[in-house]
Amino acid sequence: MKSFQLLIVSFLILVNSAFCQDITLSWDPSPTPEVAGYKIYYQQDNANYPFDGTGAAEGNSPVDVGDTLSATLTELGDEVVYFFTVTAYSDDSESSYSNIVSNSWLPALITPTIGAANEPVPVTFLWETAPSDYDVTYTLFYGTDQTEVRTAGVIAVSPPAPGNNPLLPGTIAALVALLLLAIRYRPTTKLLPQTIALLAMLLLGGMLTACGGGGGGDSSSDHSAVTGESAQLYSVDKGSSDYHQAYDLEPSTTYYWKVVATDTQDPNLTYESEVRGFTTEAF
């Protein structure tokens, strides 16, 4: 059985007709000799394998396009988001999937590259930023379980409605009044600092709650949270930043990663990258 090097789908051309989409894909040739042809895998709505889409006039996924570096799938649904990947095959074997492309914008992953080996730690995760007409923030997911990474998602939290501030003006006034009473009727001078400190903490805590806590959202927020049953799935809120350096990876270990971009106005609108794997170096 032959070993194939990975393909890279280099660009995507869209041709729209009145009621359907004709989508043309092009890819780099496989550097592995004795390639018999290529297959296009596709599906709608998500980038999760096994890419078992239907609807193209050329047939259900995968579509064998023969020994060519460009092919068009026709009569795909209008205003439907499709995801595509390509493989090379010989008489007795088939390559891994190429990178994933879509007829909608996705955060393309740059480094680590597909199947990278001996990746030095700290690992620098780098991805493509959104076009200028997108207003999104990024969440990086990485871990040792491919399924957990693939199924992980950003929890959509609706912002508080205007006027429903958790810290009401009356609450602030009551805390200030308590502080004044503590100063005036303090039992002993010794207890005054403790009383003031306690009330100040209550006031500060209420203010942080009103402001949404100390959560990150900008490019400086690199706080990682461990989730998932394996305790090896990490979620990092990156705000508008397009990279992250991870120092917490184990040597000689295979990790998987993806990036999810979330619309700042509609937290239920997300753009999810493919899932890539890489292996860290021994150290």
Both 130 and 69 in one domain: the answer is no
Are 40 and 65 within one domain? yes
Are 46 and 160 in the same domain? no
Quick check: is 171 in a domain? yes
Question: What's the pTM value of the predicted model, to 2 decimals?
Answer: 0.58
Q: What is the pLDDT of residue 151?
A: 87
Quick one: pLDDT at residue 116?
93
Domain end (from 82, 104, 126): 104
Q: For residues 87 and 1, state if they share a domain.
A: yes
The helix (H) or strand (E) run that includes residue 174 is helix 169-184
Range of the domain at 88: 1-104
Q: Residues with Cβ < 8 Å from 178, sequence gap 6 or more?
A: 199
Within-domain flag for 277: yes
- Among 104, 124, 140, the domain-final residue is 104
Residues 84 and 128 in one domain: no
In a domain, 73, yes or no: yes
The answer to whether residues 57 and 91 belong to one domain is yes
Predicted local distance difference test score (pLDDT) of residue 56:
94
Residues 74 and 168 grouped into a single domain: no
* Same domain, residue pair 164 and 196: yes
Residue 109: inside a domain: no
- Which pLDDT score, from 0 to 100, does residue 100 have? 82
Given 104, 125, 151, the domain boundary residue is 104
Do residues 132 and 259 share a domain?
Answer: yes
Q: Is 262 exposed, middle or buried (0-12, 13-18, 19+ CB in 10 A)?
A: buried
Q: Is residue 174 one of the residues assigned to a domain?
A: yes
Q: What is the CATH number of the domain that holds 56?
A: 2.60.40.10
Mean pLDDT by 10 residues, the chain (283 residues): 56 62 88 90 86 94 95 89 91 86 87 93 96 93 93 64 45 51 53 55 48 36 49 89 95 96 87 92 89
The secondary structure of 207-276, three-state, reads: HHHHCCCCCCCCCCCCCEEEECCCCCEEEEEEECCCEEEECCCCCCCEEEEEEEEEECCCCCCEEECCCE
Same domain? For 126 and 58 the reply is: no
Q: Same domain, yes or no, for 78 and 209?
A: no
Total structural domains within the chain: 2
Report if residue 153 sits inside a domain. yes
Q: Is residue 110 part of a domain?
A: no
